[in-house]
C-alpha cells in the first residue's frame, strides 16, 4: 500500500481536487466544490464532485478500497486493480472514445481515477428494469466489443506487444473472484451463495447436475487459460451507462487477458436476465412481448454489428496463415463461447453472492421465483446446447424456448425436492 493513501470522504474531496492541476480546466482555484459518495457497486468509493456555482462543471472520482466493500475488511482486495482499470480505460479510449469515459488522471498514491461524469446517462440495468429501450445500444456495444477485443488480440498486436500487455494486466485476485463467484460456488453448497429459499429445489438440482458441471468446468478452464484479448472482465448492464443516443462502458477493473466470449456473453447474458425478469415485471402480455422483442433484437443486432466490425480486424491478418475457413471457425467459437460464458454469468446472478436487481429486486417472492427459475432454465439450455449453435438467431431461439419451472409441478424434475 502507498503510504500516501487515505480513503476520501465528501469532506476531504474539495481539498483533494484543488490540489490536482489536471482539474484546473474544470474547477477554478479555491472555488466552493461539493461532493457526494454515490458508489453502489461492490468494491469502491465513487464521488460525484461539482462546482457549487455551476454544477455542470463536474467530475467523478473513483477510489479503490483495500477490501471488498460488499463484505467488509475481512475480504482484502489489491488496490492495483485501480491501475488496471485506468490503463484499460486508456486503451479503450484510444480504440472507442465515443463509448469510454474520458480520464483526467490516475493517482497512483491514492488508487484513484478522475473521470468524466456521465450525468446525462443512467446505469443500463436500471433503465431495462423500467422497460426503457435504447435504440442505439446494439450498434454501440457491438462496435465497442469488436474494437476492444479485436485490436488487443494476437490478430492485430505484434508478438512482443501482446505478451507485454498480458503481463501488465495480470490480475490474480480479481480473476480469482470471478473463478469462484461465476464458475465454482453457484454449483456447490457454500456459505456465500445468496439465492432465496423458494428457488432451492432448482438450485439443488443444478448443484447435483454433473452434465452441467462438465460444461461449466470447460468454461472455467477457458476463462483461466485463454489469453485471447484484453477483456473488460465485468461487462454486465450495471457497467454500462446509456441514454437514448449514447452508450459508455465503465468500470473495467476486472480487465485482464481472457476469452473474448466472456465480455460478449456478459452483455448477452444480462439482456437475457432482463428478459427473464420481465416474465413478471411486465404483466401486460403485449407490452411484455414488445419489450422482449426489443431485448432479443438487441442480442441479434449486437452480434451482427460485432461480426461486421470485426471485418476490419480480419482485414489485417495474414490470409495464408489465417484463411477464410479459420476466420469462420474463430467467429463460430466466439458465438459458442459467448453462449456458455453468458449462461454462467446468468446462473451466478441467481444463485451466487452478488445478485442483480433485475431478479433480486422483485419484491413478491413468488414472482421472483418465477423469474429466477426462468433465468436458470435459459442459462442451462444455452450452455448445454452451445455446441450446436451456428447462428445468433439459434441462440435466441434456445433462450426464448425456455419456461420457468416454478411453481413446481408434479411433473417437474424439481418436484421431488419439495415433496
Q: Is 351 in the site for ligand SR1 (CB under 6 A)?
A: no
CB of 234 to ligand SR1, least distance (A): 5
Cβ distance to ligand SR1 smaller for residue 52 or 192:
192
Residue 45 phi/psi, 5-degree rounding, is -95, 135
Minimum gap (Å) between residue 281 Cβ and Mg ion: 23
**251 binds Mg ion, rule: CB under 5 A:** yes
Question: What DSSP element (H or E) covers 281?
Answer: helix 260-281
Which of the listed partners (ligand SR1, Mg ion, none) does 129 bind, with a CB threshold of 5 to 8 Å by partner kind?
none
CB of 252 to Mg ion, least distance (A): 8
Residue (of 120, 18, 4) closest to 63 by Cα position: 4
Between CA 60 and CA 8 the distance in angstroms is 13
The number of beta carbons lying within 10 Å of the beta carbon of residue 116 is 15
Q: Mark residues 306-345: x for contact with ligand SR1 by CB under 6 A, - for none.
A: ----------------------------------------
**Partner interacting with residue 68 (select from ligand SR1, Mg ion, none; CB below 5-8 Å by kind):** ligand SR1
Interface with ligand SR1 includes 68 (CB under 6 A)? yes
Binders in 180-219 for ligand SR1, by CB under 6 A = 181
CB of 355 vs ligand SR1, minimal distance in Å: 10
| Residue of the chain from 38, 70, 217, 365 that contacts ligand SR1 (CB under 6 A) | 70
- Chosen residue from 42, 116, 165, 282 binding ligand SR1 by CB under 6 A: 42
Residue 357 binding Mg ion, by CB under 5 A: no
d(CA 106, CA 102): 11
Backbone angles phi, psi at 10, to 5 degrees: -55, -30
For cell 419484491, the residue is 363
Mention every residue, 6+ apart, whose C-beta is less than 8 A from residue 156.
150, 313, 316
Position among 354, 376, 383, 384 found at the interface with ligand SR1 (CB under 6 A): 354
Cell of 95: 480504440
In angstroms, give the least distance from the CB of 179 to ligand SR1: 10
In angstroms, the CA 315 to CA 297 distance is: 28
Nearer Cβ to ligand SR1 (69/133)? 69
Strand boundaries in 266-346, DSSP class E: none
> Beta strand pairing status for 103-107 and 112-115?
antiparallel
Q: Is 365 in the site for ligand SR1 (CB under 6 A)?
A: no
Choices 22-30, 120-128, 174-182, 295-303 (CB under 6 A): range interacting with ligand SR1 = 174-182
Residue from 41, 150, 252, 342 binding Mg ion (CB under 5 A): 41
Q: Which residues pair with 242 in a beta bridge?
A: 122, 247
Cα 66 versus chain centre, distance? 22
Instruction: Select from 308, 246, 302, 245 the least CA-distant residue to 270.
Output: 302
Long-range contact set of residues 283-288: C-beta below 8 Å, sequence gap at least 24: 287/131
Piece in contact with ligand SR1 (CB under 6 A), picked from 90-98, 102-110, 149-157, 173-181: 173-181
Size of site (CB under 6 A) for ligand SR1: 10
| CA–CA separation, 353 and 193 (whole Å) | 5
The answer to the question of residue 177 lying near ligand SR1 (CB under 6 A) is yes
Instruction: Write phi, then psi, for 76 (nearest 5 degrees).
Output: -65, 150
Binding site for ligand SR1 (CB under 6 A): 41-42, 68, 70, 177-178, 181, 234, 353-354
Binding residues for Mg ion (CB under 5 A):
41, 251
Amino acid at each position: 500500500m502507498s503510504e500516501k493513501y487515505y480513503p476520501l470522504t465528501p469532506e476531504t474531496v474539495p481539498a483533494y481536487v484543488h490540489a490536482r492541476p489536471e482539474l484546473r480546466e474544470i474547477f477554478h482555484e479555491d472555488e466552493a466544490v461539493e461532493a457526494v459518495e454515490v458508489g453502489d457497486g461492490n468494491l469502491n468509493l465513487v464521488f460525484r464532485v461539482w462546482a457549487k456555482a455551476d454544477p455542470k462543471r463536474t467530475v467523478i472520482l473513483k477510489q479503490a478500497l483495500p477490501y471488498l466493500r460488499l463484505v467488509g475488511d475481512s475480504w482484502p482486495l489489491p488496490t492495483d486493480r485501480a491501475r488496471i482499470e485506468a490503463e484499460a480505460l486508456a486503451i479503450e479510449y484510444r480504440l472507442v472514445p465515443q463509448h469510454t469515459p474520458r480520464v483526467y488522471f490516475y493517482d497512483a498514491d491514492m488508487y484513484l481515477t478522475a473521470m468524466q461524469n456521465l450525468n446525462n446517462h443512467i446505469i443500463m440495468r436500471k433503465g431495462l428494469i423500467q422497460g426503457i429501450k435504447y435504440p442505439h445500444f446494439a450498434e454501440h456495444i457491438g462496435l465497442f466489443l469488436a474494437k476492444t477485443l479485436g485490436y488487443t488480440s494476437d490478430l492485430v498486436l505484434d508478438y512482443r506487444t501482446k505478451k507485454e500487455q498480458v503481463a501488465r494486466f495480470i490480475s490474480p485476485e480479481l480473476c480469482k473472484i470471478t473463478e469462484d463467484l461465476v464458475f465454482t460456488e453457484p454449483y456447490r453448497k457454500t456459505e456465500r451463495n445468496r439465492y432465496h429459499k423458494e428457488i432451492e429445489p432448482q438450485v439443488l438440482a443444478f448443484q447435483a447436475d454433473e452434465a452441467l458441471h462438465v460444461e461449466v468446468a470447460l468454461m472455467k478452464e477457458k476463462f483461466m487459460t485463454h489469453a485471447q484479448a484484453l477483456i473488460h472482465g465485468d461487462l454486465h448492464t450495471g457497467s454500462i451507462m446509456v441514454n437514448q443516443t449514447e452508450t459508455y462502458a465503465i468500470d473495467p477493473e476486472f480487465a485482464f487477458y481472457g476469452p473474448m466470449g466472456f465480455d460478449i456473453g456478459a452483455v448477452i447474458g444480462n439482456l437475457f436476465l432482463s428478459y427473464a425478469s420481465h416474465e413478471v415485471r411486465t404483466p401486460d402480455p403485449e407490452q411484455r412481448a414488445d419489450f422482449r422483442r426489443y431485448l432479443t433484437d438487441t442480442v441479434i443486432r449486437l452480434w451482427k454489428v460485432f461480426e461486421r466490425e470485426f471485418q476490419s480486424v480480419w482485414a489485417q491478418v495474414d490470409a495464408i496463415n489465417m484463411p477464410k475457413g479459420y476466420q469462420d471457425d474463430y467467429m463460430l467459437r466466439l458465438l459458442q463461447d459467448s453462449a456458455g460464458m453468458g449462461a454462467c454469468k446468468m446462473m451466478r446472478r441467481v444463485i451466487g453472492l452478488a445478485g442483480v436487481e433485475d431478479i433480486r429486486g422483485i419484491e413478491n417472492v413468488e414472482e421472483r421465483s418465477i423469474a429466477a427459475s426462468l433465468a436458470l432454465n435459459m442459462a442451462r439450455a444455452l450452455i448445454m446446447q452451445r455446441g450446436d449453435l451456428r447462428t445468433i438467431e439459434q441462440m435466441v431461439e434456445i433462450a426464448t424456448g425456455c419456461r420457468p419451472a416454478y411453481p413446481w409441478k408434479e411433473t417437474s424434475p424439481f418436484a421431488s425436492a419439495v415433496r
